[in-house]
Structure 1
Amino acid sequence: MKILVVEDNPSVSSMLELFFQKEAIAGDFAADGLEGFAKYRQGDYDLLILDWMLPGMDGIALCRKIRELGDSVPIIMLTAKDSESDQVIGFEMGADDYVTKPFSPLTLMARIKAVMRRSQKAEAPKETVRTEHFAVNKETREVQKDGEPVQNLTPKEFELLLFFMQHPKQVFSREQLLEQVWGYQYYGDERTVDVHIKRLRKKIAGGEQFFHTVWGVGYKFEEYAD
């Protein structure tokens, strides 16, 4: 499980980080709403935990903005506000659950598991994979960059792009990419990967900004800010 926590209290973040490590949860942390939104757009999270009171953009505004994008990722709000009216506001903005401070990690973990169970029952298979600049429909195999269609990708170019989008910022060797994308242990010429990367860079406007060579290792996909 991969969780993004947007919380400006370092003590709370440190407590959750230690607890997540014990629970084998991959935790990502942001200290304000704007940073949290940027990380949300770059990552692929199973659940978001948002503090209500945040600098830059508060948790309620962040929750609303995420829901306006059409994302149904489960969201738990953390807050010292415990009135019924505050809880109603949180739910109306799209939160799935609400945990008041102070709280124990065990209580939060129980809420996380409950929200994930409900989400997994209700969630339809996701056909579209999105990042900051790209949207890929796995069923129709349509690709968009910044809302504009990307044409003439070969099947392997499409699969390579999709694999990179699902593993942002991770560095892969040519051997790993051949095994993961081509689907078998490849014993031929590793320059096959170089050719496909070169074609993606050429076919996608500004492709050099997204497909990065890591000298001596391989490649990674990372969307640099404009």
Structure 2
Amino acid sequence: MLEGKPLIAAVDDDPTVRDLLTQYLSDNELRVRAVASGGELFALLDQDTVDLVVLDVRLPGEDGLQIARRLRERSATIPILMLTGRAEEADRVMGLELGADDYLTKPFSPRELLARIRALLRRAQAIVNIADLTSRVRGYRFDGWELNIGLRRLKNPQGEPVEITNGEFSLLVAFLASPRRVLNRDQLLDLSRLHNAEVYGRSIDIQILRLRRKIEADPRRPGFIVTQRGEGYMFDAEVSAIR
């Protein structure tokens, strides 16, 4: 029985690929709805809760990049796995810029596809867990600083307000929800999108630089947002939640 299992929407105009995805993923305890176009995908989204979208870039009419853009406007968190051709590097880059979470080149191994889908589902569940946690938190305190989530207001240890942008706020919430845990760029991107859908991959490093300038005593030698070379960033402070 697959009732209650994650629902995967597979968008590909090739019926052979749709049959392959449906059979293989169903055999591995995933529910699958295979459709041929963006119109069919959004009709499905209106009818059911889709947990992940496998999306072919090369589609007639509205292509996968256009669909990915529309999908991100509708949901900032649903995982998107793009299927591309070997020579379509520009499409892969554009897909990631538009908010796709991963890509796989055709022809692909069904086992690798399954592994990537499972990894994205695990990551999505972790994000849901953190979102649930932060939804029950009114704010955070760290080293004399206080962040009010509802008001999006940051105060320094002297009690003075510090102006932060929406992107900086979203990034700070992501760090404070996971103190002393190394977060890579993809994780920060996903967690930031919980509070601001306009945070993009290339902007993460810029947002961190700007945030450091506002909360660090010496931004060139950060004590809060610490770089972990080859891994990501860690918020190195004692953080308490305000409930």
TM-score range, shorter chain: 0.5 to 0.7
Which of 55, 63, 79 pairs up with 2:84?
Answer: 79
Q: 2:84 touches 2:91 (CA, 8 Å); kept in 1? A: no
Distance 1:70 1:10, change over 3 A: closer
**Aligned pair count?**
127
In the TM superposition, what is the alpha-carbon distance from 1:66 to its structure 2 partner? 1.2
| Separation (CA, whole Å) in 1 of partners of 2:95 and 2:11 | 15
1:55 aligns with 2:60: yes
Relative to the length of structure 2, the TM-score reads: 0.49
| Separation (CA, whole Å) in 1 of partners of 2:126 and 2:19 | 31
Q: Which runs of 4+ in 1 moved over 6 A?
A: none
Residue matched to 1:89: 94
| Separation (CA, whole Å) in 1 of partners of 2:124 and 2:36 | 26
Residue matched to 1:106: 111
Q: 1:76 touches 1:95 (CA, 8 Å); kept in 2? A: yes
| Separation (CA, whole Å) in 1 of partners of 2:60 and 2:46 | 18
| Separation (CA, whole Å) in 2 of partners of 1:83 and 1:52 | 9
In the TM superposition, what is the alpha-carbon distance from 1:55 to its structure 2 partner? 2.5
Distance 1:107 1:58, change over 3 A: same
2:10 counterpart SS class: strand
Q: What are the superposed Cα offsets for residues 3-48 of structure 1, whole Å, 9 maximum, x if unpaired?
A: 0111111111111111122112110011112212221222201111
1:65 aligns with 2:73: no
1:45 counterpart SS class: coil
Map 1:50-199 → 2, pairs under 5 A: 50-123=55-128, 124-125=131-132
Q: What are the superposed Cα offsets for residues 81-111 of structure 1, whole Å, 9 maximum, x if unpaired?
A: 5444322101011100001100011010011
Identity %: 43
1:60 counterpart SS class: helix
Question: Aligned partner of 1:16: which letter?
Answer: L
Residue matched to 1:43: 48
Residue matched to 1:142: none
Question: Aligned partner of 2:12: which letter?
Answer: E
Q: 1:20 touches 1:27 (CA, 8 Å); kept in 2? A: yes
Residue matched to 2:24: 19
RMSD: 1.9
Q: 2:84 touches 2:106 (CA, 8 Å); kept in 1? A: yes
Q: What residue ranges of structure 1 are gaps of 5+ in the alignment?
A: 128-226
Question: Aligned partner of 2:35: which letter?
Answer: A
1:34 aligns with 2:22: no
Q: 2:57 touches 2:91 (CA, 8 Å); kept in 1? A: no
Q: 2:79 touches 2:124 (CA, 8 Å); kept in 1? A: yes
2:122 counterpart SS class: helix
